[in-house]
Structure 1
Amino acid sequence: MNMTSTTQDSLFSPEAVYISSATSQDELFSEIAAKLLARDFVKPAFLDNLMQREKDYPTGVDMSVVSADYPNIAIPHTEGEFVNVRKIVPIKLLTPIDFGNMIDPSQKFPVSFLFMILNNDPEGQANVLAQIMDFLTTTNHNQLLAFFKSKDTNAVYQFLNSNFNK
C-alpha cells in the first residue's frame, strides 16, 4: 500500500484497534505504545514524548457540546519524528480515565474513547484532527452511540472504515 495515500483505508488498520482495561493514563499509554512499537508503527521514544505532550497539552474533548449522550473522548498525539506511519488508532476504554480538557487544561473529565493520532507528516496533524471532529459531528447519532459502546475491535474498525471521511 502507498503510505502517502490519504484514503480512509490508510488511516485505520484492523490490527491497530484496541480495547483497554487500563485505569490510568500512564498504564494506558504504556500498554498501547508497546503494541504500536511491536508493529513498528512508532519509535522507542514515542511513549515518553506522548506522555509529556499529554501533560503539557491535554487532548480531552468534552463531547456534551455535540451530544449529551456521547462519551468524552481524547485525541492524544505527539510529534511526527516519533512515529513511522500515518494512522488513527481507536481505543475503547472499559473504565473511563481522566484527561485534561483540550480547551481548558485546568479542567479534567472522564474519557471513554480515544482516537490516537500517529502522523509522520508534520503538515497533516491539524488535518487529521479536523477529520476526526468532522466524523464525530456528522455521523448518525444512533450509529455513533452504538459505535462508542462496541467492545469488538473488528466492528470498530469496520464502522470507521465505512463511515470516516465520507
Structure 2
Amino acid sequence: MKENNLFSANAVFVSDASDPTTIFKEVSDKLLALDLVNDGFFNGINQREQQYPTGIDTSPIAKELPNIAVPHTEGEFVNTCLIVPVALKASVSFKNMIAPDQSLPVKFLFMILNDNPEGQANILAQIMDFLRLTSVSKLQTLFNLTETDKIYQFLSENFSRQ
C-alpha cells in the first residue's frame, strides 16, 4: 500500500448526525482530542460554512453519485495538513457552493485541514481531480463504505497526491 500523507487512519469518521453544525461539532471534538485542530476550529468551520457554503453537486461527474461537501476554515485553527473524510449515514442538507441559495443532499465530506493558506485551493483541486479521474463504480464503493478503516484504506490506495 502506498503512503498517502493527506489522510490519517485516526482522522476518518462516520456520522449519523442530521445537520452540518452537529457534524462539525462531533468531528471538531475528535480532531481537538487528536491535537489536529485548536479550540477555535469548531466556530471557524461552522461560521465559514454559513458564509461560504461547500456543498458540491456531483451530477456533472455522474448522476448516480451522491453529492459531497468540502468544509474548511482558516489555517489559524488547524495544526496540520490533512483531508478528513466523513461518511454520513444519511444525507444531510448543505448549501450549494456554486448556488448558495440552493441546498443539496450531501452524503460524504472531505473536510480540509490546512495550516498553509496558500495550499487550500491545491487540496480542493486534488479532491476534484480524484472525483473526476476515479471511475464511477469505485467512487460508489467509497461513498457506500461505513467503516473508518475501510474508508482510510480505500483513500490511501486510490487517492494520489499530485
Report the AA paired with residue 73 of structure 2: T
TM-score by length of 2: 0.96
Shift, 1:95, TM fit? 1.3
- Could you tell me how far apart the structure 2 residues matched to 1:70 and 1:50 are? 25
SS of residue paired to 1:91: strand
SS of residue paired to 1:14: coil
Shift, 1:26, TM fit? 1.2
Report the AA paired with residue 36 of structure 1: L
Matching residue of 2:136: 141
| Structure 2 unaligned residues grouped into runs of 5+ | none
Counterpart mapping for 1:17-36 below 5 A: 17-36=12-31
TM-score by length of 1: 0.94
Deviation >4 Å, runs of 4+: none
Contact 1:8 1:165 in 2 (8 A): no
Aligned counterpart in structure 1 of residue 80 of structure 2, from 65, 68, 85: 85
Q: CA RMSD in A?
A: 1.2
Counterpart mapping for 1:1-166 below 5 A: 9-165=4-160
User: CA-to-partner distance for each residue in 1:54-80, whole Å, 9 max, x for gaps?
Assistant: 000000000011101100000000010
Matched pairs, number: 160
Shift, 1:8, TM fit? 5.9
| Structure 1 unaligned residues grouped into runs of 5+ | 1-6
Contact 1:8 1:164 in 2 (8 A): no
